[in-house]
Amino acid sequence: MNKSEVPMTEKESLELIASMIRRAKEACHDTGVSAIMWGALIAFCSLEKLAELQFGFHLPFDIYLLTIVAVIPQIIIQRRENKLKKAKSWEDDFQQALWLSFGICIFILIFLLNVMLPVWFKSAEEYTAVTGKSFPFQLHEYTASLFLMLYGIPTFITGLTMKFRPMFWGGIICWCASVASMFTPIKADLALLALSAIVAWLIPGIILEKEYRKAKKQLSEQDV
């Protein structure tokens, strides 16, 4: 008898529905690769910058430029994942739009700071030259707070909507670190940036990757 014509009881129908929904959901797991990459990269850049300040050396380029270079592997990862994905979940479009908006906001902020900071440094120098005092407001001391505030938004929303607690708490930690970094010196700000990247992205990414592998293994066992 054809599989589609096998008679089913009401209970069997409900069991079939539940099992198919579960299978479909398990197949739409996030790989966590992007979260791992960005978490590791931001943590590395922040710690390298901290080491530069601590030990008084300078790289010939700004280490944060690596974040621009990392857009290329991100595009490759995204394209590969989209290609491998045979089903699109309802959350996929939302997640992509959310993280794309976040990326755009980060680059706008970088651009804004690159316009603002040289003007501010010049004004601060003129102020010191005229008054002999240091400028009372140190703009560069607050840049980490702005980045951490932005880091928290997509992380918190992803954690909340996907019911993924590590990212939910990661987002909250980013915001706590944002507030804390307003009152801490630059070296501590960089440590907070590294810590937030590890807690908000690297660790959740590793958890996601493990869950993805587990789900993949379970699915392949079911398909045997």
The minimum distance between CB 7 and other proteins, in angstroms, equals 9
Tell me the C-alpha distance between 119 and 139, whole Å: 11
Nearest to 32 by CA among 90, 70, 77: 77
Burial of 134 (0-12, 13-18, 19+ CB in 10 A): exposed
**Closer residue to other proteins in complex, CB, 5/56:** 5
**Closer residue to other proteins in complex, CB, 9/114:** 9
Give the list of residues 6+ apart from residue 168 with CB closer than 8 angstroms, or none. 156, 159, 160
Length of the chain: 224
**Closer residue to other proteins in complex, CB, 75/108:** 75
The minimum distance between CB 77 and other proteins, in angstroms, equals 18
Tell me the C-alpha distance between 198 and 106, whole Å: 18
Tell me the C-alpha distance between 165 and 150, whole Å: 19
Tell me the C-alpha distance between 130 and 149, whole Å: 35
The minimum distance between CB 31 and other proteins, in angstroms, equals 16
Interface contacts to other proteins, rule CB under 8 A:
2-6, 8, 10-11, 13-14, 16-17, 20-21, 23-25, 27-28, 83, 86-90, 92-93, 223
**Closer residue to other proteins in complex, CB, 3/133:** 3
**Closer residue to other proteins in complex, CB, 24/68:** 24
The minimum distance between CB 75 and other proteins, in angstroms, equals 17
The minimum distance between CB 25 and other proteins, in angstroms, equals 6
What are phi and psi for residue 87, nearest 5 degrees? -140, 145
